[in-house]
Chains A and B, each alone.
Chain A
Amino acid sequence: MKTIILAGNPNVGKSVLFKNLTGHYVTVSNYPGTTVELTRAQSNFDPDIQVVDSPGINDLSSSAEDSRVTQNLLKEEKETVLIQVADAKNLRRSLLLTFQLAESGLPMILALNMSDELKQRGGTIDVQKLSDLLGIPVIPTVAIRNEGITELIQSIPHASLPSWDAPDDLRKKNADLYQKNCERLDWISSILEKTCFYIAPPKPSIGVRLGFWAIHPVKGLLILLFILWMMFWFVGLFGAGTLVDFFETALFKQKLNPFFISLADRCLPFPHEHSEELSVYHLTIPITPVHSKELGQIKRTVLSTEYKCNAPLTPSQRTFLFIHDLLVGPYGLLTMGLSYALAIVFPIVLTFFLLFGFLEDTGYLPRLAIMLNRLFRSMGLNGKAVLPMIMGLGCDTMATLTTRILETRRERIITTFILALVVPCSAQLGVIMAMLSRLSIWAAMIWIGLIMGVMLLAGRLSAMLIRGKSSDFILEIPAIRRPQVVNLLSKTFSRLEWYLKEVIPLFFLGTAMLFLFDWFHILEKIANLMHPIVTNWLGLPKQMANAFLIGFLRRDFGAVYLLKAATGREPLLDPHQIFVSIVTITFFLPCIATFFMIAKEHGKKIAVSIGMFTLVFAFLSGGLINHIGKWLGL
């Protein structure tokens, strides 16, 4: 079987090209270094050819992890054609890599990607001459619009070993890496003089200007505030409000749950009567946290999960009762597990990933890295940590995986630690916002202040404690691009798929655990056991032990449980208790999946110490807030 390896600098469009050649989707974004693993797939033009997508590298000779992955790949694969994907605008850097890749002795093709952006900036490349000078086929492409792909596929049999008359020094094997790169660059300059021409356009385009505004000290801050507000409206108000309401009340409470209940009653007959309740759904468009416009409402009388059963039961009917309760009881897999996962978590995560994908594709995130570089410096990190941090607002498990793009181990551990401790994932954030909206704006302010304070302090302290080096902040800023709708949707879809695959089993597991504990009356015992912590220390009603118990599985599940307690018809919690529970659940360990991901990335020892620390810290800070609040008489 033949193999095609796609290699090239970061953010030049390898992953888009991979999708064009195979039909398989890998996460594509306008941020350097998104691909951290090798992806393989069969090509869509010849079943005998396999295509491999490799992480973007700037320097093949460097000892960083991603370039070692590529080095090993080049050594191991047999019968290979190497397609170097190059950014046509940055030919100098691409050719530097071409020379390094050429030393692997594999037949090569050079794909000049993003040739449209080169044209926009007034540049032209003499493709034929470049091909002659390098001795390999050179194909201009625009991968994102599928241009030049057929030519690229046709040129694969013509791939050849690069043949050029390089200066003698370059052929020396053991020259110093830096010296070698300098000589290569000298020689590239002479090639570029013959092949590459620039006439700068008189006026920078709107995209270029927007790109500069985003990193301006004043305008950049305004744009940042605008984006934060947009995020708050779209995820916090629209996603966690309108969409959650729709999924939860209109879909699950009024349609699906009664259907599940009547279906279960028909299949599992035992004498019982479900009580009915009135459910009202308001379709609203949010304007501010307190104002909204109502567009309509639906009133329905629906079956509730509670039922009366007085008659004595035969053993077979008891079995039916058990299965009935497991599926559609108050702790039912369908009525609680599935509806929490799909009706509350899903809409919030959907809106967040849509927005995140949009920001990622426009190329705003590297600019955000510049804006936040100083802040992150004080935590022993640098601006590059912004991608995992923002990703953590979506899903902490995914973000822990993305910490791989950070260069040193110390930075990876500090980021993982901060992610686990303070960064709430979107599902949790949405639920917390919904709970905060029951309180005053001051409570929200104190909560945000508390999170920022803990983040800075924890970052500072861990930077002092964890040995190792910080990396340099050298970051290439990509062009501002208009996001492609198809790409945005498929990216959101693949992330949602990943997320739901992880979430739904855990929600089922958590619900089943709660149900079994309730069935065997262990729940009360656990509540009594946690009584000193939950009631005496945190000052919450003892049923809330359940929330923390399932919070071990997923902290947003725990948060949803708290939300239910805080907003029902007879709220179990008063405002002070709501605030205490919000703080406690914020600092909880994200979820069991994050825990395993930390263990996989950094080892068990670190995972256990991060887990223990967040747990103790969560209860400690919750209790402190409780006692200080009471002492101040709030």
Chain B
Amino acid sequence: MNTPDYKLCPLCGFEFEKDDTACAHGCPFNEVCHLIRCPSCHYEFHDQPQTLSWFQKFFKKNKETCPPIKGNYQSILQMKDGEEGTVAVICAHGSRKNSLAVFSLVPGSKIRMLQHTPAVLIQIGETQLALDTEIAKNIFISPASS
């Protein structure tokens, strides 16, 4: 199936159609300019040629990597069911970090592990939140609290 030209803003992660670019109407650079402006955060970025992105996809490692964390932090996946702890570090990109924050999951919040399978389930205050293992892996609690 042929999808229309969809762009992803590298800064804020907003998804939009290429025609929706926030460039001013009647801009003199119209034809020569190859920059795209995100309609959400107005960040300007260069359009990537398709062949290049194909190669990148081909060689890219699929796993998300998290920078090494100093200190004796423990991933919440290692918590036992029913164990409580205080979140110390959340290792994720901007939009994911923010979507966790709106469920009040930020460094410093107290969580309780409820179960691991079929999906990770944690409790923050009175909210029960189900997460993918991929996301939960990169949330760490400080050792003192466990």
Interface residue stretch chosen among A14-22, A175-183, A348-356 = A175-183
Are A93 and B104 in contact, CB atoms less than 8 angstroms apart? yes
Which size bracket describes the interface of B in this complex? 35 or more
User: Knowing that A216-B115, A474-B132 are A-B contacts, what are 16 other residue pairs whose CB atoms are under 8 Å apart, sorted by A's residue number?
Assistant: A58-B103, A59-B99, A59-B101, A186-B108, A212-B115, A215-B118, A366-B130, A370-B118, A373-B119, A413-B1, A474-B103, A474-B129, A474-B131, A475-B130, A477-B121, A477-B130
Are A92 and B121 in contact, CB atoms less than 8 angstroms apart? no
Bound Cα distance from A186 to B8, whole angstroms: 32
Out of A181, A373, A610, name the residue touching B101 (CB < 8 Å): A181
B127 at the interface (CB under 8 A from A): yes
Are A217 and B1 in contact, CB atoms less than 8 angstroms apart? no
B84-108 with Cβ < 8 A to chain A: 94-104, 106-108
Q: Which B residues are CB-close (under 8 A) to A467?
A: 3, 6
Are B1 and A462 in contact, CB atoms less than 8 angstroms apart? yes
Are B132 and A382 in contact, CB atoms less than 8 angstroms apart? yes
Q: Which A residues are CB-close (under 8 A) to B121?
A: 215, 370, 477
Q: Which A residues are CB-close (under 8 A) to B95?
A: 62
A93 and B118 contact, Cβ closer than 8 Å, known pairs A473-B131, A474-B129, A476-B128: no
Out of A92, A123, A466, name the residue touching B3 (CB < 8 Å): A466
| Interchain nearest-CB distance for A488 vs B (Å) | 24
The residue among B94, B118, B121, B135 with the most chain A CB atoms within 10 A of its own CB is B118
Bound Cα distance from A567 to B11, whole angstroms: 61
Are B106 and A182 in contact, CB atoms less than 8 angstroms apart? yes
Bound Cα distance from A59 to B40, whole angstroms: 14
Q: Which A residues are CB-close (under 8 A) to B99?
A: 58-59, 62, 472, 474
B19 at the interface (CB under 8 A from A): no
Give chain A's interface secondary structure class: helix
| Interchain nearest-CB distance for B110 vs A (Å) | 10
Chain B residue nearest to A211 (CB atoms) is B128
| Interchain nearest-CB distance for B3 vs A (Å) | 6
Out of B1, B109, B127, name the residue touching A476 (CB < 8 Å): B127
Q: Which B residues are CB-close (under 8 A) to A177?
A: 94, 98
The 3 closest A-B pairs by CB, nearest first: A58-B102, A63-B40, A89-B126
Q: Which A residues are CB-close (under 8 A) to B102?
A: 58-59, 62, 93, 96, 181
| Interchain nearest-CB distance for A133 vs B (Å) | 18
Are A90 and B125 in contact, CB atoms less than 8 angstroms apart? yes
B117 at the interface (CB under 8 A from A): yes
Are A63 and B132 in contact, CB atoms less than 8 angstroms apart? no
Are A217 and B117 in contact, CB atoms less than 8 angstroms apart? yes
Are B1 and A215 in contact, CB atoms less than 8 angstroms apart? no
Q: Which A residues are CB-close (under 8 A) to B128?
A: 476-477
B14 at the interface (CB under 8 A from A): yes
B56 at the interface (CB under 8 A from A): no
Chain A residue nearest to B109 (CB atoms) is A185
B2 at the interface (CB under 8 A from A): yes
The residue among B14, B104, B106, B107 with the most chain A CB atoms within 10 A of its own CB is B104
Out of A59, A182, A473, name the residue touching B119 (CB < 8 Å): A473
Chain B residue nearest to A369 (CB atoms) is B130
**Chain A interface (Cβ within 8 Å of chain B)?**
58-59, 62-63, 89-90, 92-93, 96, 121, 123, 177-178, 181-182, 185-186, 212, 215-217, 220, 366, 369-371, 373-374, 382-383, 408-410, 413, 417, 462, 465-469, 472-477, 603, 605-606, 609-610
Q: Which B residues are CB-close (under 8 A) to A610?
A: 1
**Chain B interface (Cβ within 8 Å of chain A)?**
1-4, 6, 8, 12-15, 40-41, 94-104, 106-109, 114-115, 117-119, 121, 125-132, 135
A-B contact pairs, 10 of them (CB 8 A): A59-B99, A62-B95, A63-B12, A92-B104, A93-B103, A177-B94, A177-B98, A215-B115, A373-B119, A606-B1
Chain A residue nearest to B2 (CB atoms) is A605
Are A217 and B127 in contact, CB atoms less than 8 angstroms apart? no
Bound Cα distance from A473 to B118, whole angstroms: 12
Q: Which B residues are CB-close (under 8 A) to A215?
A: 115, 118-119, 121, 130
| Interchain nearest-CB distance for A618 vs B (Å) | 17
Bound Cα distance from A410 to B8, whole angstroms: 12
Are A409 and B135 in contact, CB atoms less than 8 angstroms apart? no
| Interchain nearest-CB distance for B117 vs A (Å) | 5
Are A62 and B98 in contact, CB atoms less than 8 angstroms apart? yes
Q: Which A residues are CB-close (under 8 A) to B101?
A: 59, 178, 181-182, 185
Q: Which A residues are CB-close (under 8 A) to B118?
A: 215, 217, 220, 370-371, 373-374
Are A409 and B119 in contact, CB atoms less than 8 angstroms apart? no
Bound Cα distance from A56 to B68, whole angstroms: 37
Out of A185, A371, A383, name the residue touching B104 (CB < 8 Å): A185
Bound Cα distance from A84 to B33, whole angstroms: 44
Q: Which B residues are CB-close (under 8 A) to A468?
A: 3, 6, 8, 15
| Interchain nearest-CB distance for B129 vs A (Å) | 6
Chain B residue nearest to A478 (CB atoms) is B128
The residue among B40, B97, B103, B121 with the most chain A CB atoms within 10 A of its own CB is B103
Bound Cα distance from A217 to B121, whole angstroms: 12
| Interchain nearest-CB distance for A404 vs B (Å) | 14
